[in-house]
Every structure is written in C-alpha cells, then in structure tokens.
Amino acid sequence: VGAYPAASSDLWMIDVMRDSIIGRFTFTQSNSNYPVWSPDSRELLFSSNQDGFLSMYRKPVSGAAEERPFIKASANNYPTDWSRDGRTIVFTAVAPSTQADIWTAPATGDGKPAAFLATSFNEFGGRLSPDGRIPASTTAFFFVGASLGNISLPWLTGQAFDRISPR
C-alpha cells in the first residue's frame, strides 16, 4: 500500500487477513511506489524518485537489509511484473523519443535491460501469463477516424491478434 502525503510517499505492509498494519516498508523523503512481489514473496521491487527520476529498487520483505538499486534511470521507469520462475523483470520505461515502452531485465541485476515493445505509441503495464510465455499490456493507439482492426505483433509470434477490449 502506498501512502501519499503532499511531498513524498512510502510503501507500507498491511496484513489484510488480520486487518492490521504490519509497518512502514520504505523510509525516504521521496516517492516510493509501484511495488511488485518476487515469486517467492521474499523481496519487493519498486520505484522511487530518491535520485530524481523513478528508478527501480529491491528490498527484502524481512527488512533485514536496506533497499538497493536495481536499475538506475535517466528517465522514469517502474516495475510491472516479475516472472513466476523468478528470472525476468518486466517494467515500463519512459523515453522522450518513444514515450512509454515495455522492457525486460534479468532479475539477477546482471545483464542489460532489453526493449520488448518500443513504438511511437504508449505501451505500459506489461504482464506475463502464468506460464511466462504470453505478454499482455496496455497500449494507447491514437487514430483519428480510423478503425484499428487487428493488431500485428510479429515480434511475439508472427501472428495477428484481435483487440480483446472494446473501444
């Protein structure tokens, strides 16, 4: 849960089964948000603008260690999913040239992040199916007076997909 006072926001842990607050999870004078659980529930990955832009940090849920940078950003980025096998982080990165895009990175922090879907449109909220094979996302396509029809995603499978949400 995020608490949003005027100047900053922190993440808090709440036990919904017992209807009680466990405690504050982040303690910065910045905004911490967009938490994503690790598949084993031992860590949280989240974004914080403590260094200017929203960058990603990870922290053990036990509180045994401070948060550590996962990806330092030169523009806003925030996590949206962590694969069930624990190997891949899916996140939204914002770039001036392509707006919001979906990227992936190895969860180990080693290796280089890679653009998964980067177009001139806004793609965000990337999530993986439970088996990790099929991505889902929100894309803002803006066509004036045109019908979108089928969306071709050759980068995924070479197939065309019908829109699954109504206009």
- DSSP class of residue 107? T
Q: Which residue has the tokens 């832009």?
A: 53
Instruction: Give the C-alpha separation, 105 to 113, whole Å.
Output: 4
Closest among 117, 28, 121 to 80, alpha carbons compared: 117
Q: What is the pLDDT of the chain when averaged over all its residues?
A: 79
- Structural contact between residues 81 and 37, judged by C-beta atoms closer than 8 angstroms: no
Conformation bin of residue 145: beta by default, left when phi > 0, alpha when psi is -120 to 50 = left
pLDDT digits (tens, 9 = 90+) for 120-139: 888 888 888 888 776 776 76
Instruction: Give the C-alpha separation, 79 to 34, whole Å.
Output: 6
What is the side-by-side order of every strand in the sheet holding 20-24?
2-3, 10-15, 20-24
**Residues 117-130 as b or e (16 or more Cβ within 10 Å = b):** bbeeebbbbbebee
Reported as type and span, the H/E element at residue 94 is strand 88-95
- Structural contact between residues 121 and 75, judged by C-beta atoms closer than 8 angstroms: no
Q: What are the pLDDT tens digits along the chain (167 aa)?
A: 544 444 688 888 888 878 777 787 888 888 999 999 999 999 999 999 988 889 999 999 988 889 999 988 888 999 999 999 999 999 999 988 888 899 999 999 888 999 888 888 888 888 888 887 767 767 654 443 344 444 444 444 444 444 555 55
| Whether pTM exceeds 0.95 | no
Distances (CA, A) of 122 to 59, 69, 92, 110, 118: 29, 25, 10, 27, 8
